[in-house]
Amino acid sequence: MSSRGVVVAQPMAARSGTPAYMAPELFREGAVHSTASDLWALGCVLYECRMGRPPFTTTLLHRLIDDIEQRDPPPLQGAPAARTCPAIPRLAWPRRRSCTRL
């Protein structure tokens, strides 16, 4: 609602967040942010710090969403943490594509 009392319509696809860092469950209607989705975003930021790019990149939003929901990110190249502690990638990107069970 605007300051004048007029209802302002927002597109149905409007979401809160940067798509490349959003957890898969946040693309569903009625989804809410949680600690689990924050952990997903942190995993994306750490991935980008190591690789110089987010784990999923494309110029098309629908393809980005499909990639996040259905694919594993490309493996970290030469990442000592992944070799030292194999649980780290599984914590950031569990097979189910959802962080709600972390």
- CA distances from residue 21 to 18, 29, 55, 68, 92 in whole angstroms, order as listed: 6, 17, 9, 9, 12
- Residue 86: inside a domain, yes or no? yes
Give the list of residues 6+ apart from residue 51 with CB closer than 8 angstroms, or none. 74, 76, 77
What CATH number did the domain enclosing 43 receive? 1.10.510.10
Give the domain range for residue 57.
19-92
Number of domains in the chain: 1
Per-residue pLDDT tens over the stretch 36-71: 999 999 999 999 988 889 999 999 999 999 999 999
pLDDT given at position 68: 94
- Residue 12: inside a domain, yes or no? no
For the question of whether the overall pTM of this predicted structure is more than 0.85, the answer is: no
